[in-house]
Each structure stands twice: as structure tokens, then as C-alpha cells.
Amino acid sequence: MSLLVVGSVALDSVETPHARRDDVLGGSAVYFSYAASYFTPPRLVGVVGEDWPKAHTSLLDERGIDTSGLQVQPGGQTFRWRGKYLPNMNDRETLEVHLNVFEHFDPTLPDQYRDSQYVFLANGAPTTQLRVLEQIHRPRLVMADTMDLWINIQTDELRALLKKIDGLVLNDSEAILLTDDENLVRAGKRTLEMGPKFVVIKKGEHGAMFFSRDATYVLPAFPTEEVVDPTGAGDSFAGGMMGYLASENPAEFTPHVLKTAIAYGTLVASFNVEDFSLDRMVSIQRADLDGRMRQYQQMLSL
Amino acid sequence: MSLLVVGSVALDSVETPHARRDDVLGGSAVYFSYAASYFTPPRLVGVVGEDWPKAHTSLLDERGIDTSGLQVQPGGQTFRWRGKYLPNMNDRETLEVHLNVFEHFDPTLPDQYRDSQYVFLANGAPTTQLRVLEQIHRPRLVMADTMDLWINIQTDELRALLKKIDGLVLNDSEAILLTDDENLVRAGKRTLEMGPKFVVIKKGEHGAMFFSRDATYVLPAFPTEEVVDPTGAGDSFAGGMMGYLASENPAEFTPHVLKTAIAYGTLVASFNVEDFSLDRMVSIQRADLDGRMRQYQQMLSL
């Protein structure tokens, strides 16, 4: 079933305690769509500048990602982010942000994308996320991500968005900020009261929590000793989750089918962090995810 | 099968953002033995002063805990700890410590305890833990806890202990300190190389990780919105874990039986944090643990 992602496409520079990479392929829509592509061919909407290497688009095309919604802005420069991970590889500092063409990103969806059944509104201004949503005819499942910036400066717009989406994914620190509650179980339930049908709190190396009216549960991350670069973990998580859902297109979004989706998201993210940029994801297939799923199921069987 | 715990018996004063309690029943051996008592009647070795309320001993006796190894030191005062939890309820500050009779705790085991098959050396000086171990005839399973203090000031003695025990339980921050590695999967494996047959890293609200030569896995904590007082969570975890093992007395300590034990430890701890001191544990039965186990299994089924 059709899956659309609208979000950033970026050139990232990443420093870790052990290595660094400059101007590598990144951005929320890129990580999301690549992660989803193991399950279903997604549609990508984003914007880049004239400096964008065509090889990056080819890499996405080769995975079946529909990049006809990737706009190249003449005379513009691509969004750039530079960050540095602390030794725990969970916390990071942003060293530089150049929004460039992403600053005035106000996407008009190609006509052929307006019937998308599954939609992910990657992290961005809630005003923009709302405008994207208005352009889509009757989607089956809309999920969104957000961040501390929007919780702080677009509180009302974010509240309006939360009433119009099915699922929200956000980090633990963002859930605490949004609800002013440091207990994550309560924070998740309070977020749920703001409108979405379900909420997923991402805890990085500690896994993810799920909240709906019927269920509360937590799944651990897949234990890996090879954490090379956590950039894009949250977006590849969401991509794996929604890619699985779009490919299954279940009659009903039961807590159990959403849990399986979250598990796939967890496993795609666990591969993604094993190398910089998309390097690890490029080297795997759906069968690798299914293999790790069997290990994960065995790990959690009691 | 016989289960022995040697550790502290204390009067704790606890402040949280919402409430405080003074001089309530606490200590590692108390939390451990109470948690274990749902599964098997444990033997407790510890020391208290003349100020020790007899009612506390009665509370333990009523659960079938053998307190004949609880020594009352004439003229002495009981170990006292005062701590304050930060709003996240995971981090805490120690405000006061009065070791009192615990300062020179050098336990001589009652003769009838020397045949104990399951032994837990609760957090204490490795020198003391080693002396206790020498007094026990052929135990089937010895587990120990430790803390940052001993990692820093009794490194060699701790290393000697690690070669003589089957399992070590320690906090995430302690595992990082012990191995100088911030990746917990690597930290667990490095700890394993120091001698024990298995290692359990406790991550508080984020659950626990298990490491042995054959298996690495992580289990999440049971999600609870009622975290009233985390004091004793680690010791009640260990008590539930070893209580289950001692009651089952399996022919072999396979990764699977140890995982079930860790799950029971997780669930006893999840009840323990729902109130101060032993107040929540006093109100539950084995059936409550089994009920929560069914919820936990369902949560983790994929």
C-alpha cells in the first residue's frame, strides 16, 4: 500500500569519539524511506540544492524509492547539519546547522501522491506538517515526529496537529518536555490524551514504549556492541515501522500488529547505527531483518 | 533449595519529590530476603544495633525468612542511610550514612548455614564477601553485587572475588566504571571476561541485560506509572531472581532458566518501587507475581 514521507534531505557531518564523516547522505526523509524500502517502495517529498550529488538520488532510486517528489532548487544549497556524539553515543551536540533550501520548505505534493494511504510527517514545523496533511485525500494512517524546538515555539500548532494524526513518535526527553512529567509511562499516557490514537516514545539504546487506549508496552533495543553512528536511528525506526504496516495493510491497527511494526522499526534502527550514513542499511536485505527478528523473538520469549 | 543472603540491614530515611519517610526498614539483605520469600524461605545474615525494632524481625519471620543469623550487637546502633531522589526517580543523592554496627561487619556464619546451596553476597567490601564465601561448603550457585566504592578502592579484591562467583549483578554506571567502556553490551562482555559465568547489568527503569558465554539479551522493566520509592529495587530484583532459581533448583543453569529468573526479579522489583520500604511487597503474594508475569509475557510476545 502507498507510503509517503515528507521531511528533510540533508548532507550530514558527524563526529564520534572514533571517527568522522563530512557531507554524507542524511536527513529524516532519507533515513525513513530507505528503512521503509525493505517492506514497500515509499514516496519521498523533500528539497535539495544545486550542490546535491546525483549519486545520492540514484542510491534511493535503486531501492525502489519514488524520488519524483524530490525537488532540486536552482541556486540553492542543501540543508547541512554537523554534530558530535559524546562517548556514551546516546547524547549529541549540534555544532552547525545550515537550513539553506530547507528553511522555506513548503511542499506542494505531486498530484499522484495525494492518494497516499500511509503518511509520515517527519520532524518539521507543525504548520508545515498541517499543510501537508491538508493536501492528502483520505489516508489510512498518519504518523508524525516532532522535536523540542516545536514543542517550545509552536505549542498551539503542535496541539492542533496531534488532534489530526493517528500516531506520534517522539524521544523520551521530548515527551517529558511536552507533558512536564518525568515518568515516561505517565508522559506517554498524557501525550495520548492530546489526541493521537497511539504514541511511541523512543528511548534510544533503551528501546521504545507504546501507548494506546488499550495497551501500554515497552520493547528493548536490540543489543549491539557496534554503535558507530546513531544518526537517523529515530527516522529509520519510524521507516521500518511504517514500511511494515504499509506492506501488511492490516484490516485493523491492533496493539499486536503495531507491536510487530515497532519491533521491525527497532531492528532496522539496530542495523542503521552500525555504520555512518546509510552504509550499513545499503548492505542488508529484508532477509537480514527477518533473521534478526527471529533472534529478537527468541530473546524476548519467556 | 537453601538460599542464603549476607548483607546490610538498615534503617533508611528517604525523601522523594512527593513524600518522605524516616527510619524505615531497609538494607540489601532485607530487600533481597523478602523478595526471595515468595519463592523459597531464605536465610538471612546481618547485624543490627540495640535500637532495632523487634517488629521488623517479626515481619521477616512471618514471611518464613530464617533470621537466626541476624545478630543484635549490644550497645550498638543500626546502620542508617538517608537519601533523596531527584525528580526523574532514577538518580539519587546520599545525604547521610552512619555505618554504625555495619562498619565492622565480619560475619561468622551459623553452622547450619554452611551447607547453603544458593548464596547471595549483597553489596559489601569484597574482602568481606570473600571471607563469607570461604565459610560455605560446596554451593551450587553464588551471586554477588558490588558498587562504585569497591570498584575504586578494592579493585584487586573485587577481581579475586569475580573469579570465585557464578554471577555478578551490578548497575549500568558500575559496569561502565569497572570496564571503562560506555557501550553496555561491550561492558557486559568485558565483565564476563573477568571470571563470572554470567553478568547481569541493572538499568533501573530501562530493565536488565544478561551476558554469558552462550547468550546476550536484554529485558525491559515492567512499565509502571507508580514509582513511589526505588530504594531496594536492585536487591529485590536479585532476591526475586535467586528465590526463583533456588525454588526451581534446575539441573542446569541454562540461559533460558536464568532469563525466567531475571523476569521474576524484574517483576518483584516493579512491585517494590510502588511504595516505601517493604510496604508494597508486604501486600502481595506469589499469585500477584504470576499475574504480572502473564502480562509481561504478553507484552513481549511477537
Q: What is the DSSP string of chain A?
A: --EEEE---EEEEEE-SS-EEEEEEE-HHHHHHHHHTTTS--EEEEEEETT--HHHHHHHHHTT-EEEEEEEETT---EEEEEEE-TTSS-EEEEEEE-GGGTT--PPPPGGGTT-SEEEE-SS-HHHHHHHHHT--S-SEEEEE--HHHHHH-HHHHHHHHTT-SEEEEEHHHHHHHHT-S-HHHHHHHHHTTS-SEEEEE-GGG-EEEEESS-EEEEPPPP-S--S--TTHHHHHHHHHHHHHHHH--SS--HHHHHHHHHHHHHHHHHHTTSSTTHHHHT--HHHHHHHHHHHHHHH--
Give A-chain residues touching B89 at CB under 8 angstroms: 182-183
**pLDDT tens sequence across A56-65:** 999 999 999 9
Q: Decide if pLDDT at A90 tops 90.
A: no
Best residue in A173, A176, A183 for a mutation probing chain B (most B CBs within 10 Å): A183
Kindly list the residues of chain A whose beta carbon comes within 8 Å of any beta carbon in chain B.
87-89, 182-186, 189, 203, 205-207, 209, 216-221, 223-225, 227, 259-260, 263, 293, 296-297, 299-302
pLDDT at B90: 84
Give the pTM.
0.95
pLDDT band at A289 (very low <50, low <70, confident <90, very high): very high
Mean pLDDT of chain B: 97
Give B-chain residues touching A225 at CB under 8 angstroms: 183, 185-186, 189
Task: Check CB contact under 8 Å for B225 and A189.
Answer: yes
Single-letter amino acid, residue B102: F
Task: Check CB contact under 8 Å for A223 and B227.
Answer: no
Residues A3-300, CATH architecture: 3-Layer(aba) Sandwich (3.40)
Q: How many CB atoms lie within 10 A of CB A61?
A: 14
CA dist., res. B26 & res. B37, Å (int): 16
**pLDDT tens sequence across A181-205:** 999 999 999 999 999 999 999 999 9
Averaged over B178-191, what is the pLDDT? 97
Nearest residue in chain B measured CA to CA from A221? B218
**pLDDT tens sequence across A98-109:** 999 999 999 999
Give A-chain residues touching B179 at CB under 8 angstroms: none
Q: Decide if pLDDT at B228 tops 90.
A: yes
Of B88, B207, B293, the CB nearest to A220: B207
Task: Check CB contact under 8 Å for A186 and B225.
Answer: yes
Q: Decide if pLDDT at A88 tops 90.
A: no
Averaged over B125-141, what is the pLDDT? 97
ipTM value? 0.92
CA dist., res. A244 & res. B7, Å (int): 50
Task: Check CB contact under 8 Å for B300 and A296.
Answer: no
Q: Does the B4-300 domain belong in CATH 3.40.50.300? A: no
pLDDT at B88: 87
Q: Decide if pLDDT at B36 tops 90.
A: yes
pLDDT at B176: 97
Kindly list the residues of chain B whose beta carbon comes within 8 Å of any beta carbon in chain A.
87-89, 182-186, 189, 203, 205-207, 209, 216-221, 223-225, 227, 259-260, 263, 293, 296-297, 299-302
Averaged over A162-167, what is the pLDDT? 98
Q: Decide if pLDDT at A133 tops 90.
A: yes
Averaged over B146-174, what is the pLDDT? 97
**pLDDT tens sequence across B85-120:** 999 888 899 999 999 999 999 999 999 999 999 999
Of B206, B219, B296, the CB nearest to A203: B206
Q: Are B47 and B74 in contact (CB under 8 A)?
A: no
Domain spans in chain B, listed from the N-terminal domain onward: 4-300
A157-170 b/e with 16+ CB inside 10 Å = b?
bbeebbeebbbbbb
Distance from CA of A266 to the nearest CA of B (A): 13
CA dist., res. B124 & res. A277, Å (int): 46
Nearest residue in chain A measured CA to CA from B204? A206
**pLDDT tens sequence across A30-83:** 999 999 999 999 999 999 999 999 999 999 999 999 999 999 999 999 999 999
Q: Which three cell numbers stand for residue A302?
A: 519467556
Q: Decide if pLDDT at B165 tops 90.
A: yes
pLDDT at B170: 97
Q: Decide if pLDDT at B45 tops 90.
A: yes
pLDDT at A105: 94
B212-245 b/e with 16+ CB inside 10 Å = b?
beeebbbbbbbbbeebbbbbbbbbbbbbbbbbbb
Q: Which three cell numbers stand for residue A87?
A: 562517548
Of A189, A225, A302, the CB nearest to B185: A225
**pLDDT tens sequence across B192-206:** 999 999 999 999 999
Give A-chain residues touching B184 at CB under 8 angstroms: 205, 223
